[in-house]
A and B are shown apart, each in its own frame.
Chain A
C-alpha cells in the first residue's frame, strides 16, 4: 500500500483574503475580491476587471535583500510559504536540508519584473537590465527562492501545465514523498496583472470584457462570457501521514487521489479528457462517486467548456447528484494558483462543515448541476474533488479526504 500523503500546513494569498483566516471568513460569506484593475491603467484594454490582492506590502514580510530580485508573484509565494510552514508547526532548520523539497506550479513566471526589465532594454539599452532578470521572470523562480530561503535541498522543480499545474505540482510532491522525502512545499502562486501579462491573457481570447464585477465571471450561467483573471494562490505543506503523526502535527487532510489527461486534438471529435481525469483520480483514491461530498469545479465560464465539465460530472456522479461549487467566482481565476487555493478551501470546508458558495452565477438548468448558490451550504465534508483545466488540453483532478 502506498504511503498516505497529508497536508499539514496552508498558506493563502487571495484577492478576497490575505492569510487563511481572512480568506475563509471572506469566502464563506461570499465576499468577492474582483474589481477594476488598479495596478495599471486598464482603460485602453478590452478587459478591465481583475481579482487583485489588496494590502500586501512585501517590505513588511521579507528581507530587504530579496526585494530587488523578486517579482510580485515570488514575494507572495515566499510569504505564503512562511505562513504555511508556521501553520504546519515546522521550523525548516529542524530538518536535514535534503529531506525537504519544493515543487510548485507556474503559469507565466514573473511577468511584471520581466516587463520592467524589457522596458529598460528597449528604452535605455542592455546595460540597464537587472542581472536578476536572469531568474526573476522564470517559471521555476518561486520554487528556487522558497528553496533558498528555507534551506530546502531535496527533490525540487516546477510544473508548467497552465491552470491544471497547481494540481499536477501537488501530485508530483506526493510522488516525491512516496519516494522518501520527508516534506515537500507545494501549491502555486501566480500574479501577472501588468500590461504584458494582460495582453498575453487577452491573446488567449478567454477573458470577460464585462465591466460589472458581479456580472463578469459567470460559470455555468447562460451569460457565461469568459473569466476574470486574478492573482494569488496557496502554498501547501505535504508530509507522509506517518511522519505527521509521529511529530503530532495537526492534519488538514489527505491528498488521496490524482488523475491527469490531455484532450484529443481539436476537431478530432474525441471526448474531452476531463471525465477520465476525474475517474482516474477517484480510482487512485479508492473512492466511489457516491462518497464524494463536493466538487470544486474548474468553472471556465466558456459555454463549450462549461458543457464539457457538466457532462463529465453528470456521467461520473449522476445528474445533479453531487454538490458543485466554484468559490473562484469570488477571486477570479488565479491560473496555477487556483487549484491549490481550491484544495485549501476543501480542507477548510471539511473543518468547518460548510461548502463555500458560488456567487453571481445562475446555472443553466440544462447543465443539470447541483451548484451551491450564493449562500454557503452546511454539510459534512469528508471527501472532496478539485478539478482544474489548462489551455492546451490539460485536465487534472485531485481527491482529498478529511483526516482520519
Chain B
C-alpha cells in the first residue's frame, strides 16, 4: 500500500508547471468543483498534466480518466484511488 497522497496543492503545482495558469483564474480560490475548461485548461493541457502526474506518482492513468474527471475533485479522487490512498477531499 502506497503512503503517497495526491493533494490539491500537488495538482495546482503540476498544472502551473505543465500548462501554466490563466491570469483571469485564481487557482488558489475555491476550485475543487470547477470544471477544468472553466479554469482555462483544454484537453491537451489535461493530457500534459496527466502525464506529469503519472511520472511523479508512478501510476498509469486510464485514457478516459481525464475525460471522466472533469473537476479537480474527481481527478484527485481518481489519482488517489490508483495510489491506494483512501482520502476524501
Contact = CB atoms under 8 A, between A and B. Distances in A.
Interface string B8-48: 00000000011111110000000000000000100011011
A248 interface: no
Contacts of B22: 63-65
B88 to A, nearest CB: 29
B71 to A, nearest CB: 19
B70 interface: no
Interface string A46-82: 0000000000000000011111110000000000000
Contacts of B86: none
A69 B17 CA distance: 11
Given A127-B54, A127-B55, A128-B55, A64 B48 contact: no
A176 B68 CA distance: 41
Contact of B40 (A65, A67, A130, A134): A65
Interface residues of A, number: 13
Contacts of A64: 20-23
A13 B40 CA distance: 29
Interface centre among A63, A131, A134 (most CB of B within 10 A): A131
A134 B44 CA distance: 10
A131 B48 contact: yes
A63 B23 contact: yes
A50 B44 CA distance: 35
Contacts of B23: 63-64
A139 B38 CA distance: 30
A67 B19 CA distance: 8
Contacts of A132: 44, 48
Nearest to A64: B20
Contact of B44 (A63, A67, A131): A131
A68 B55 contact: no
A69 B47 CA distance: 13
B11 to A, nearest CB: 16
Given A65-B19, A134-B44, 16 more contacts: A63-B20, A64-B22, A64-B23, A65-B20, A65-B22, A65-B45, A66-B20, A67-B20, A68-B48, A69-B19, A69-B20, A127-B51, A130-B48, A131-B44, A131-B51, A132-B44
Interface of A: 63-69, 127-128, 130-132, 134
25 contacts: A63-B20, A63-B23, A64-B21, A64-B22, A64-B23, A65-B20, A65-B21, A65-B22, A65-B40, A66-B20, A67-B20, A68-B17, A68-B18, A68-B20, A69-B19, A69-B44, A127-B51, A127-B54, A127-B55, A130-B48, A131-B44, A131-B47, A132-B44, A132-B48, A134-B44
